[in-house]
Amino acid sequence: MRAAIIVAALASMTPALAGPLFCTDWQGIRTCQDGHGYTSHETQWQGRTYGDDSDGARWSTSRWQGIETTTVEPPGR
Quote the pLDDT of residue 7.
Answer: 52
Q: What is the pLDDT of residues 8-47, one digit of tens each?
A: 455 445 545 467 899 999 999 999 999 999 999 999 999 8
Residue 71 has pLDDT above 50, yes or no: yes
pTM of the model: 0.66
Length of the chain: 77
Domain that holds residue 26: 2-73
Looking at beta carbons, which pairs linking 48-57 to residues 24 or more positions away fall under 8 Å? 49/2, 51/6, 53/10, 55/10, 55/13, 55/14, 57/10, 57/13, 57/14
Number of domains in the chain: 1
